[in-house]
Structure 1
Amino acid sequence: MIFSKSAIWLLCALLLLSVFMANLLNIIATDQNFYSDNKNLSVNYTKHLERKIGQITDTSENLIWFLQISDIHISIFRDPGRITQFQQFCDSTVKKIKPMAVLASGDLTDAKAKDNLGSSQVKQEWVYYSSIIKESGVTADTIWLDIRGNHDNFNIRSINSEENYFKNYSVQGPNHPKSYLHVLEKNGVSLAFVGIDACPEPGLRRPFNFIGMLDAQEQQMLEKLKKEAESKADYIVWFGHYPTSCIISIEKDSERLDLRQLIGSSPASRAYLCGHLHAMGGLVPKMYTKQKRGFLELELEDWKDNRMYRLAAIDHGHFSFVDQKHNVWPLVLVTNPKHARYNLPGREPLNLIHSSTYIRIIAFSDVNIDMVKVSFDKDSWMNCLHKEGPLYVCKWLPHLFNNGLHYLYVAATDELGREAFLKHPFSLDGTSVYFEIIPRILLMVNGGTVFQSIFGTLLIINVLPLVILRFHKTPPKIRRRYGYNFVKRVWLLSKIDRVFWPIVLYAIYLPFGPWAIGKLLDEHIGVIFAWGIVIKGVFLPEPFTYMYGGVQLMFIQIPLVHILAYCLEIRLFKSNIRGARRLIMQLPFIFLLSIQLLLAYFFWLEYGTLSFLFGPLRTWSVVLTILLWYRTITLPVDYCSKLRKLDQTPT
């Protein structure tokens, strides 16, 4: 059977797509069972917990709860509500919930200039943060565990520099400037919190600090903290600012720490709690997954714009959580039976749920709770009995729910008549509820690899078609007229040496040559490459540069080829047009040039005059664009004649 070229290309595309999808699905698979992969370790650990806990009853023993808040972004230039409502959170919310700890997982301050482009530490923002915590007295009743985020590391030369206000104005900074361990014991629960500081040193100005980095020293520290946590606590909760997908470990002596491997290697690890991604602007509000090593990774939507916080609990060895908007009451969390999506086989004593005698719920409000009730069918409701503190219990018969997925409905009402209602899936036979695809991709795929892949793909799209068309004696045959005319224009453009070579060579230059030389830190000049940044004699393998270059390729270089091809058509076949109509025909170029000038201006605001002058990526590309446009619209007459004859060659 003879296949057409289109069919062959389609088959190749489908093959590549199927390989890509197979690899992606393997990367984001969440059906790994820690128990089956680590049977002996899991059996010993869960048996130890079962012996220690005994049975799930109606007391507050073996119950502990805590809060998380992330991406506060205290700013003196924008949105005063961040400060006033953060003060309410400390003055009221924390005191009503009375958590054993509050995790503040980075970006405590905004550190952005009034123009929203420049970035540097603002002392007054740190003073606000420190004053609110001190004046609220929140640390007298709970443990406040804060850690740095990338905004808290803007324009900081080293961890010991004066501009690193975290070490003086945070709660943990004076004693723990980077990663640290805190062990909490209450109600028969020993819980270790491991804070991961992945801020690179030095800390550059934005935007080249999106990815967190763990150097050799910090990798050794985390391994030490993990061993210490295992020796002191039954459960470990890890927290930091960056998701694991946005953290790279710097290799030293052919060794590199796999952070997910480190967290997952301990059966005591329950979850890694983070922020940083701001729920992708609110588009992915529940960014949760279970990593291949069997622990949960839970990104928390930001406080900055959405005023979100998280309530989490460990009840009889089972980890549960709920994310809540500020000032929305009542706040309700079911701790037994465990939510089916978040079961952790091999890490939690799930067998205890089978023999438990009580449904267990913790409920809070800023006023008294009037009633908590539960139902399995939304028709027959049972009132829960209030025990100590926020704990509400109701007797149940778990053997009635041995098979399949079931739902528990919970309604809580406070004395102001406000009601919270939730639908809680659970299973006793391991039936699970799947995690959504997009959160899994964002949290499980390596961010640096994604940025490199996007940049590489755009580079190929920018260069390969031009090179292929240059070697074609005639434009490729395309059935659709519009497509054929479009390809023909680019084909003609590829024949012009004075345009073809600058476009191709500039694109080839981007993966290798410096993009800018300038003050990436106050008083320190650095060099930006696609593959990283060199400053202060230190190489920072910052993968976000690939995304930054990808913007140039996607929105400047690729459109430039199309616009030049369009200008060439005007020069060859519409040169007799004059006046306003000719100006209108150049509007695409004017629009593209405006975007380039705007990007170059933003780069100047971010990194100063030196980087603007010595900036091949942004500033020099403006000059190149103008030069190529001018060469195209002023193409010599003899060149035009050759191209017209070429266009008339029979196909």
Structure 2
Amino acid sequence: MSSRALFFRLLHLLILIFSFALSSPSSLLIRGEADHATVARETFQVDGDVAWIMQISDLHLSKYYPERASDLATLLAPALGVIRPALLLITGDITDAKSKAQTSSRQDESEWIAYRNVMNEVVLQSGIERARIFDIRGNHDKYGVPYVSHELDFFSKYSVNAELNRTADIYSISLVTNHTRYLFLGIDDSMQIGIRRPANLFGHPIDETVQFINSDLQFDDKYKNSAATKIAFGHFPLSFTASTPKGETYQIVFANNSFSTYICGHLHAKMSSKLWWLHKITIDGIEEKKLLRSFWEWELGDWKENRFARILSIDKGAVSFTDFRLSNYKSGFDTRVLITYPTDSRSMNLEESGGALIRNDINALIFSSQGVLNVTARVFDSSREFKVVEEIPLLSKSGHNLYQYQYPLFHAKWNAESYTSDNPTRYWVQVFVSNSDGREISSERRPFSVEGRGAIQSFHFFKYLLLGVRWEDVYSFLLWSNLGFLILLLTIPKVMYHFVQRSVTYRSRYHPFISYLIEGSRNKFIWFSMVTYLLWLIYMPWLWGYAMSENGEITPMYLSGWRIKNGKSLLEYGGIGKVDVMVITLPFLYCVVAPMMLLIHGFFAQQGRVCLYERERCSPCSMKWGRKTLLAASGLVCVMHFKICLNLMLAYGFEPVAMSLALPWGPPLLFIVSIYNTMIL
């Protein structure tokens, strides 16, 4: 074959491979046969202008850890009885749906029955209305569920929403106060076709959800008396939420519709107990002007290990929150203090949202099972070594100094103009509460800005990695950069070898790195085997497995996602959970495939160097140690490979994974053949 023909064949191969990359858009994320966003609407009246809700997340109720469920009755119920929130939001991962060894996943009906029973007990003990409880699915609640209403979809049978016949993807909840309205928008973005772990990590919104938010909320703002304060809640952080099939993202949607914040779970407190992120989005305004909009994202720590809970308040548009652990107290529920106004300048910025009106009032919610004797707010000046500059007594809005099981809002007038400052962290406020049992409880000291200025957020790489990065985009970059590197590793040396193969002295004439590349492409069988293997990874299935349940059909996984059959229509869908397979594809490509091909090149390069030294009648010991080093590195790669395969077998079944061709058997066979072909006899 002429060099010209070889060049054009390789060029054609590159065009085919990259055309495949361009033909695999996120629109392959098909959710099911009937993709539409169903909506449930609820309206609740609240007293006064301050409303507060409570949130818990990531319960992970498990039959192996019954205390997670029992603590809902012993810890959550008493707290609800004292706090008396307008809403209780349970933001996903209600049950664990995993084996005791945490190696496989499948819905367990006993865990859902335990959830139903304990929530009945919570309602009975706390006195909260069942209708004010909203629970949504997390990824654990969809492990192995082929579709909604399937026999394994226990959420549709045992959840609070299901018992109230609230079966929807979106929950629009309005809290109507004396003078305004607060809107909570709950979004269920769990996979419509629930793949089992580990490939079920991301939220998957549909275009109909975005369409509803854009159309319904804009209509709502236009034709109601005033725009509502909007808060969205879901399970998945926005960084772990894929774009819609048409490429829409919630970041743009929330910014366009002036949401104040988005609250979620999913990441657990072991990552961090203060995962908060300010999203600054540039959107299109009128007359082709660009507008900067911002909203907050607050991730809540888990109930599973840490028993975290959140109280969130809205005070005439000002949103505040406090996160805390629920634990046993001999004297009952411990006193909790939430300053509703002024807001914390580190976690709520009103200036950019247009809510920066200086208010001459200071408000705090005091939740206590004991009598409250005295409430005092102290203002500190950080520029004067946190000297107290003012003490302000707060009185109960119910008209009594002694508070017990009454309206928990305490209020005072103050001269807010005295605290105007260009520095949003100059002035700090802290509220002190004296209980009837003689204890003094204080809130966290926090900075405020009466003008609504936000404190400059210090850069934390870990927070940026978890909340500031869109992992869908990162995955695409990491995937195709790896595949692009492998393509170049196979094609460029082959072209180089074609031009130098007639030269018997190229091993000594060229740089060792050039020789390393060329030697790896000399063996036609190995080179074509690696090319075939790479093409298989791009076009063909990686593995088969019981992706939805142990008793379900064997499902193939491709680079573009899982291809499964919808249980209702038996129609095959491609690309399910494309971004979710990153937990399988990236470790395999970066820890197995790329090192394997580099080591195979190394074996042939080492063989070529040995031949060169033998021809020159010298055989240094370094050549032998070089091969031993390559063999040791190959052993480490094989250990990593079999560990990945073992985890997949535990997750998707031993026989289906073992029957797969490319993933379990490709690397070891290529290693064996390469090592055999480079043996110097």
- TM-score normalised per structure 1: 0.77
Q: Is the 8 A contact 1:303 1:309 kept in 2?
A: yes
Deviation at 1:101, TM superposition (A): 0.8
Cα pair distance change 1:511/1:271, threshold 3 Å: same
| Higher mean C-alpha displacement, 192-201 vs 85-94 | 85-94
- CA drift of 1:302 comes to 2.1
CA–CA distance in 2 between the matches of 1:228 and 1:106?
29
Deviations 1:276-323 (A, max 9, x none): 2336x4247323223414332222222223332221110022111222
Q: Does 1:559 align with 2:595?
A: yes
Distance 1:432 1:517 in 2: 51
Contact 1:603–1:618 (CA under 8 A) maintained in structure 2: no
Counterpart CA distance in 2 for 1:316 and 1:347 is: 13
Structure 1 pair 176–215 and aligned structure 2 pair: CA distance change class (3 A)? same
Task: Describe the SS at the equivalent of 1:400.
Answer: helix
- Which residue is 2:55 aligned to? 68
Change (3 A) 1:443 1:291: farther
CA contact (8 A) 2:600 2:674 kept: no
Question: 1:41-190 residue pairs with structure 2 within 5 A?
Answer: 61-77=48-64, 79-137=65-123, 140-142=127-129, 143-174=132-163, 175-178=165-168, 179-186=170-177, 188-190=179-181
What is the aligned partner in structure 1 of residue 427 from structure 2?
A: 407
Q: Following the alignment from structure 2 to structure 1, what is the Cα–Cα distance between the partners of residues 378 and 91?
A: 34
How far the C-alpha of 1:73 sits from its partner, in A, is 1.0
In structure 1, the partner of 2:275 is: 286
Alignment correspondent of 1:307: 307
For residues 176-575 of structure 1, what are the structure 2 equivalents within 5 Å?
Answer: 176-178=166-168, 179-186=170-177, 188-220=179-211, 222=213, 226=217, 230=221, 234-251=228-245, 257-267=248-258, 269-278=259-268, 281-283=270-272, 285-292=274-281, 293-327=293-327, 329-341=334-346, 342-345=348-351, 347=353, 349-351=355-357, 354=358, 356-369=359-372, 371-377=375-381, 378-380=386-388, 382-388=391-397, 389-405=407-423, 406-413=426-433, 415=437, 417=439, 419-429=441-451, 431-437=453-459, 438=461, 439-440=463-464, 442-465=466-489, 467-470=491-494, 471=496, 492-522=519-549, 523-536=552-565, 537-539=572-574, 540-564=576-600, 567=603, 573=610
Any conservation in 2 of the 1:475–1:491 contact (CA below 8 Å)?
A: no
Instruction: For residue 521 of structure 1, give the secondary structure of its aligned residue in structure 2.
Output: coil
Q: For 1:186 and 1:477, how far apart are their aligned partners in 2?
A: 84
Deviation at 1:549, TM superposition (A): 1.0
Aligned AA (2:573): V
Q: What's the offset of the Cα at 1:386?
A: 3.5
- How has the CA–CA distance of structure 1 residues 63 and 550 changed in structure 2, closer, same or farther, with 3 Å as cutoff? same
Mapped to 2, the partners of 1:617 and 1:433 lie a distance apart of 52
Deviation digits for residues 255-296 of structure 1, max 9, x if unmatched?
5654334333334x32221122336x4247323223414332
Give SS of 2:429's match. Answer: strand
Once the two structures are TM-superposed, the CA of residue 566 in structure 1 deviates from its matched residue by: 5.5
CA shift in 2, pair 1:226/1:554, >3 Å: same
Cα 1:162/1:499, change in 2 over 3 Å? same
Checking the alignment, whether the CA contact within 8 Å between 1:66 and 1:100 is kept in structure 2 is yes
The secondary structure found in structure 1 opposite 2:546 is strand
**Structure 1 stretches lacking a partner, 5+ long:** 1-59, 479-483, 641-651
2:524 corresponds to which letter in structure 1?
D
CA distance in 2, matches of 1:510, 1:476: 36
For the Cα contact (< 8 Å) 1:410–1:422, is it kept in 2? yes
Q: Residues of 2 paired with 1:358 and 1:465: CA distance?
A: 67
> How many Å separate the matches in 2 of 1:431 and 1:105?
30
8 Å Cα contact 1:560/1:625 also seen in 2: no
* 1:103, distance to aligned residue in structure 2 (A): 0.9
Amino acid at match of 1:326: L
Residue equivalent to 2:23:
none
Change (3 A) 1:391 1:566: same
Taking a change above 3 Å as real, the CA distance of residues 582 and 532 of structure 1, as seen in their structure-2 partners, is closer
How far residue 410 of structure 1 moved from its aligned partner, in angstroms, is 0.9
SS in 2 for 1:287: strand
Are the equivalent residues in 1 in contact too, given 2:336–2:443 (CA < 8 A)?
Answer: no
- Quote the offset at 1:216 in angstroms: 4.7
More displaced stretch, 383-392 vs 100-109: 383-392
Query: How far apart in 1 are the matches of 2:561 and 2:521?
Result: 32
Gaps of 5+ in 2: 1-46, 282-292, 329-333, 398-406, 501-505, 566-571, 611-618
Q: Aligned pair in 2 of structure 1 residues 331, 308: CA closer, same or farther (>3 Å)?
A: same
Give the conservation status (yes or no) of the 8 Å contact 2:55–2:89: yes
1:420-470 CA distance string (max 9 Å, x none): 452322224454213454445543543222111111122233343454455
8 Å Cα contact 1:211/1:242 also seen in 2: yes
**CA deviation map 1:385-410 (0-9, x unaligned):** 24143333344321122231222131
Root-mean-square deviation (CA), in Å?
A: 3.6
TM superposition shift of 1:108: 0.8
Cα pair 2:520 2:605 within 8 Å, conserved: no
Q: State the partner residue of 1:24.
A: none
2: CA distance, partners of 1:565 / 1:634:
12
Deviation at 1:196, TM superposition (A): 0.6
